[in-house]
Structure 1
């Protein structure tokens, strides 16, 4: 449930200088927080993060996810429920910078309930719990009066759909009859391949900016690395684990590249609007939990739709 952290086609997490980041941004500039790679011509490239620590954190989190779905995939509902609570904490603090208030109690209770609802009840039960949570969250905000109601309500609905609902699509993957655990593994492997391919291609070859206004560190070379890595990973996962045709894996990989890139850009723009570099500092070398799930959140439902239609 994680990925490398650096600017490329697959992820934008290099330090960006903004006047309100203070010592947090300065600390990331220290040599002790950097890891140096070299371009083919020998030019050193600073990654912006302590890469060995980031990789170690990713391995630990990946192992946690793996051992939560084998042999009891029901345990994965606990993992995504914890992610809901941690993510709500980060989003609440981030929105608080703009004096926007989240209805944390109904979002937390409903968001956690949505995880087992999706696993045990499928899409119909998930939609029912989501709708009920939306009604309660909007009603909860009524007692705050008219001042800021529109902004708070919009933030609550955004948070509901962006975090617990999209996380619940991971439960739809793992609960698929027969081979759901391998659906989830395929989703994680292909999405992380997008980030890894984009990371190294962007760091070593990147020169043409993709979206400089939104995410100045993303490059078209990094995007190309993401496409190649995703297509290969998708073809291998679908043929080896899901007994599908290789072309299904390629289609899946291309869909994941698009979703992961959009997910990165969405969170980059959100953080830029809120005036923060990271959503939190939960994991060493990785930032907050929301920083690690940006591409995964958007890719989850895309993988579920593609596999449901083509397998």
Structure 2
């Protein structure tokens, strides 16, 4: 589910990470860097070394381990995936609580945790209706929980709680709507994950090898239009292949899905960039070696999940 390619903020390990002004000695020798435990080094077509911004072997190993965990949780018992997303809610909530706490805002951790886990099970077993109902009940519980803190800071705390409720457990629960499809839910989830990480992979390599023109310098200075083009190509190709091979759908549906995903994934990266900049953090945590926190790894997946569900529901009902 994760790749070595992502980092959403301009200061963290974004796909279009540029070389440092003062690279360490040996930066032109990938073997030396790897042997010394430093960052893996790629080279541009002209031979110029490009730093990836992370320990690439460790990042790949972490991503593969998480991907294997997801795969074996949906085959052959897709119900087990509710446990994975529920753990994701709890881990992500812990990271978000720490980040918001640094700005003096208080989250209603207990209602968010209980409601967030219930939303995962509700989405899988009851569908969108149950998800909507549990989300509304959790929102009310969070607002009521904050009443005991008095008027000072109420609006800020209430806004933070509602943001977290929607951003983490609600968007995460749309993955359960995908997998709950009665005919090919497991494969829909696989298509969603593969197409989304293809955006990361395409943007990563196109960005570090070809990136020149800044895409959103104010929000994420390291993102380039060349990297975005790589994401478009990666998503379109992956979408066409996955839809035809796994869902028995027409290739053009896969292309439409890929284009929708690349837009959603890019927006997800930029949202996370602004979010972390506003809260004054570089990484949300250290959950995954070589990747940062869980929230650093699933930002584009969170935004892409409901988009994939909508596209597939409309074009492949």
Compute the TM-score of the two structures, normalised by the length of structure 2. Answer: 0.91
- Is residue 81 of structure 1 aligned with residue 86 of structure 2? yes
Q: Which residue of 2 aligns with 1:203?
A: 208
Aligned partners of 1:298 and 1:196: how far apart in 2?
17
Q: CA deviation at 1:178?
A: 1.1
Residues 1:153 and 2:158 aligned together: yes
Once the two structures are superposed, residues 189-228 of structure 1 have per-residue CA deviations (whole angstroms, 9 ceiling, x without a partner) of 0000000000010011001110011001100000000000
**Aligned match of 1:288:** 293
SS at match of 1:80: helix
Q: Check conservation: 2:9, 2:282, Cα contact below 8 A.
A: no
Cα deviation for residue 32 of structure 1 reads 4.0
Cα distance 1:174–1:281, how it changes in 2: closer, same or farther (>3 A)?
A: same
Q: Pick one of 102, 110, 127 that aligns with 1:97.
A: 102
SS in 1 for 2:223: strand
2:315 is aligned with 1:310: yes
Q: Could you tell me which runs of 5 or more consecutive residues in structure 2 were left unpaired when the two chains were aligned.
A: 14-32
1:20 is aligned to: none
Q: Does 1:192 align with 2:197?
A: yes
Counterparts of 1:34 and 1:152 in 2: how far apart (Å)?
A: 40
1:36 to 41, 44, 55: 41
Deviations 1:114-167 (A, max 9, x none): 001000000001100000000000000000111110000000000000000000
Question: How much does 1:97 deviate?
Answer: 1.0
Q: Secondary structure of 1:37's match?
A: strand
- C-alpha distance in 2 between matches for 1:55 and 1:194: 16
1:55 maps onto 2:60 in alignment? yes
Q: Deviations over 1:63-119 (max 9, x none)?
A: 000000000000000000000000000000001111011000000000000001000
1:239 corresponds to which of 238, 244, 253: 244
Q: Does 1:122 align with 2:127?
A: yes
- RMSD, matched Cα: 1.4
CA distance in 1, matches of 2:11, 2:63: 17
Match of 1:217 in 2: 222
Secondary structure at the aligned position of 2:158 is classed as helix
Q: Secondary structure at the match of 1:210?
A: strand
- 1:172 aligned onto 2:177: yes
Q: Which of 139, 148, 158 pairs up with 1:143?
A: 148
In 2, distance between residues paired with 1:3 and 1:151? 34
Structure 1 unpaired stretches of 5+: 17-29
Give how far 1:6 is off.
4.9
Would the alpha carbon gap of residues 6 and 297 (structure 1) be closer, same or farther in structure 2, given more than 3 Å must change? closer
TM-score, normalised to structure 1, is 0.93
Aligned partner of residue 217 in structure 1, secondary structure: strand
Q: Is the 8 A contact 1:103 1:140 kept in 2?
A: yes
- Could you tell me how far 1:35 is from its partner in structure 2? 1.7
Asked if 1:71 corresponds to 2:71, the answer is: no
**For residues 209 and 103 of structure 1, do their structure 2 counterparts lie closer, same or farther at Cα, with a shift above 3 Å needed?**
same
Q: Secondary structure at the match of 2:103?
A: coil
How far apart are the structure 2 equivalents of 1:14 and 1:285?
15
Partner of 1:3: 3
Q: How far apart are the structure 1 equivalents of 2:234 and 2:94?
A: 33
